[in-house]
């Protein structure tokens, strides 16, 4: 039986009066590559940020590889995490890759990669550094350990950010438009790397506008619209003639 890595039920989130997520349910099994597609403002980033609790959902449950951080509500209905240690447990199962790379600019490439293993997971520095070198090789960045982020192109920075995300061997990787800030000629090197991670069986949620990549690499396509999952299915179905008319209308834009 395939292992469930992500189980999400009933996630809601409002900013003030604006309901941005209106009840999201989603499961991912180990090795699933889920492409999350949808228009601007539909709630895609908010959803990813809720999964690692960068954003606190108003309600719902999230389980990632056996970790959960249940919410409790005060008398005004405001949510908080019942147990702060559970928050760290859940976060430790995930790693996120952002549109703008978000490397720490005051740290070398190597220090960016070893920071979480050493400071969050308690891995000895020498061991973390060895693994970081192997990861740099894997992402095609061997020889850049001592560089500073500002010395790298966008594509190179994003590949380092992916190495950083891999450094803790996360159960679930979250990508929020990882190629949207890249020059067109740099997009491919990052997509090729993500395709290699998919082939290795990494479990990934990827918000993207790269439709060909979603069609060719994902195991499932999810269409988010106005804070709900409008439709989802295997790419052959979602990109075929029997897809939801709403999704087909989205694709044709």
Ligand X SMILES: Nc1ncnc2c1ncn2[C@@H]1O[C@H](COP(=O)(O)OP(=O)(O)OP(=O)(O)O)[C@@H](O)[C@H]1O
Contact residues: ligand X, CB under 6 A = 15, 20, 38, 40-46
Distance in Å, CB of 133 to ligand X, minimum: 34
User: 15 contacts which partner out of ligand X, Mg ion, none, CB within 5 to 8 A by kind?
Assistant: ligand X
Nearer to ligand X by Cβ, of 37 and 65: the residue is 37
For Mg ion, the nearest residue by Cβ is 45
User: 41 contacts which partner out of ligand X, Mg ion, none, CB within 5 to 8 A by kind?
Assistant: ligand X
Distance in Å, CB of 41 to ligand X, minimum: 4
Distance in Å, CB of 136 to ligand X, minimum: 29
Nearer to ligand X by Cβ, of 36 and 92: the residue is 36
SS (H, E, C) the chain: CCCEEEEEEEEEEEECCEEEEEEEEEEEECCCEEEEECCCCCCHHHHHHHHCCCCCCCEEEEEECCEECCEEECCCCCEEECCHHHHHHHHCCEEEECCCCCCCCCCCHHHHHHHHHHHCCCCCHHHHHHHHHHHHHHCCCCCCCCCCHHHCCHHHHHHHHHHHHHCCCCCEEEEECCCCCCCHHHHHHHHHHHHHHHHCCCCEEEECCCHHHHHHHCCEEEEEECCEEEEEECHHHHCCCCCCHHHHHHHCC
Distance in Å, CB of 247 to ligand X, minimum: 15
User: 158 contacts which partner out of Mg ion, ligand X, none, CB within 5 to 8 A by kind?
Assistant: none
Distance in Å, CB of 36 to ligand X, minimum: 9
Nearer to Mg ion by Cβ, of 45 and 168: the residue is 45
**Binding interface with Mg ion (CB under 5 A):** 45
């Amino acid at each position: 039986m395939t292992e469930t890595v992500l189980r999400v039920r009933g996630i809601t989130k409002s900013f003030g009066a604006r309901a941005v997520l209106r009840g999201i349910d989603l499961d991912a099994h180990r090795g699933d590559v889920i492409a999350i597609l949808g228009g601007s403002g539909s709630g895609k980033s908010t959803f990813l940020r809720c999964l690692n609790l960068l954003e606190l959902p108003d309600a719902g449950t999230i389980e990632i590889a056996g970790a959960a951080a249940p919410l409790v509500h005060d008398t005004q209905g405001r949510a908080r995490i019942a147990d702060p240690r559970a928050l760290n447990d859940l976060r430790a199962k995930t790693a996120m890759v952002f549109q703008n790379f978000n490397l720490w600019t005051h740290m070398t490439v190597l220090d960016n990669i070893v920071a979480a293993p050493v400071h969050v997971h308690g891995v000895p520095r020498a061991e973390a550094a060895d693994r970081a070198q192997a990861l740099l090789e894997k992402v095609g960045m061997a020889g850049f350990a001592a560089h500073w982020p500002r010395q790298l192109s966008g594509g190179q920075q994003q590949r380092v950010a992916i190495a950083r995300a891999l450094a803790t061997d996360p159960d679930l990787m979250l990508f929020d438009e990882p190629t949207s800030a890249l020059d067109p000629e740099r997009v491919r090197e990052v997509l090729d790397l993500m395709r290699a991670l998919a082939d290795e069986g990494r479990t990934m949620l990827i918000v993207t506008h790269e439709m060909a990549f979603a069609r060719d690499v994902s195991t499932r396509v999810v269409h988010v619209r106005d804070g709900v999952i409008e439709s989802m299915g295997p790419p052959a179905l979602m990109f075929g003639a029997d897809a939801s008319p709403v999704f087909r209308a989205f694709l044709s834009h």
